[in-house]
Amino acid sequence: MRELLKVGLWIEGQEIAAQTGQTFAVFDPGRGEVIASAARGDQADIHHAIEVARQAFNSPAWRSLTPHQRGRLLWKWARRIENEKDHLARLLSLENGKPLKQAYDEVGTTIRNFEYYAGWADKIHGRVVPVSEQVFDYIRQEPLGVVGHIIPWNYPLDIFARGVAPCLAVGNTIVAKPAEETPLSTLELARLAAEVGLPPGVVNIVTGFGQEAGATLASHPGIQALAFCGSVATGKQVLTAAAGCITPVVSLELGGKSPCIIFPDADVERAAEAAAWGICYNTGQSCGALSRLFVPRELYDTVVEKVRATMATIRVGYGPEDADMGPLVSEEQLERVLGYVGEGCREGAKLVFGGRRPDSDPLSRGYYIEPTLFGEAQPGMRIVEEEIFGPVLSILTFDSEEHAVELANASSYGLSAEIWTRDLSRAHRVAAQLDVSHVTVNGGGGFGVEAPFGGVKQSGFGREGGWESILQYSRVKNIWINLDTPSTN
């Protein structure tokens, strides 16, 4: 029997209980067992954390640091995370369910975020505006103040790091509310930040539920900006709450129903194999998951068979034991995905592979589902139109390049897309026509901390990554000095 972890809030550089003393259970989705008891923060705890962050923002311990010193702290944080990567990866795999290799990948991306923005800290410059010989006009790039972050459960470390690292590089302080499913690894990052010398109150973590802690953070007048990653429905609630205080929501990354287009001249076998593995990565629980696969009508049978055969090789199992695909994050998420599988069958799509919950031990105790492939899918079906957030791939056919682009763009979402072709002109042409913010050509991942990532349409707005994050977590101040002033001497 595993010993039950007990974790509190992280406020002002120390772990404390929620003011009510209440806690909630954290589950291992691979076994369906409680693994931890976490403090259930609410409105009072959010108020406390924001006040602490405000004081830290104004304190000499933080404000007097040079940009170079801030960058050094971020770099030290990265090194400390690297030293603890084994512990963090196993903890992440335990609470989220993702396979251990994927957990290590996420820890690596987390480290890279802090390294990258450590380098930016002393390169955030203002500029001079030429007006006239009588005027010296210049612009400063300044921190915002206290920034709130609402973190989802699918990539808790990566999404925490990609928002917090640029925030701190600029000179802000933060209050973060991790998802109730995955608070443990985020709290560990905060502990490591204290160990490398970040002043108390610069990084604060309030664990709890969205309707209590999250809603209070979104609507609080004490924050100067908010970043959110999650569902469209919750994102709309966050926007409404923040509007009451005219709080800028600088980053709102929501859902996706991303298309993958395989053109006739592509390496079809490689593309089909990549599509199968891609939808199963993180058990399909990725905003940018390529869940709509568009293939030429004449290649439909070939692609379906290759995807099916590849899915049959994917080992579903317990994340910490490093299977190819772990469980979904919760019982609720499992029921949601199974519901979409049933809906796809009722709508007339052909269930080619998977779609079932394993019914034998030990998998029957966790929130597992088989990799799932639908053929003969049609526009308008719910499995084609709506984000499922599970390992469910739908294959549709097209008759021409124009038809493929039309089908791919026929979505309320606009996060990412992928193109497979050997024709470089076609790659550029189609990429320019796709109504998304990120396009990958011929696989290879396509996401790096050095470049911006975000959505359009119902997928949200704002960008995380690259220089764009520095801009969105800072503000500009214009200073006009009249040089044509009579001397007082």
Give the residue numbers annotated as catalytic, written as ranges.
253, 287
DSSP state of 212: I
Provide the 8-state DSSP code for 257: -
Q: Indicate if the alpha-carbon torsion angle 385, 391, 396, 401 is positive or negative.
A: positive
Please compute, for residue 372, the number of CA atoms within 13 A of its CA located in the half-sphere on the CB side: 31
Q: How far apart are CA 253 and CA 453, in angstroms?
A: 9
Residue 348 burial (C-beta neighbours within 10 Å; 0-12, 13-18, 19+): exposed
What does the block give as tokens for 242?
């923040």
Cβ contacts of 455 within 8 Å, gap of 6 or more: 252, 253, 254, 256, 287, 413, 414, 415, 436, 437, 461
Tokens for 322? 């490093």
Both tokens of residue 73?
């702290």
| Pairwise CA distance, residues 94 & 91, whole Å | 5
394: tokens are 């739908």
- Secondary structure in 3-state letters for 401-463: HHHHHHHHHCCCEECEEEEECCCHHHHHHHHHHCCCCEEEECCCCCCCCCCCECCEECCEECC
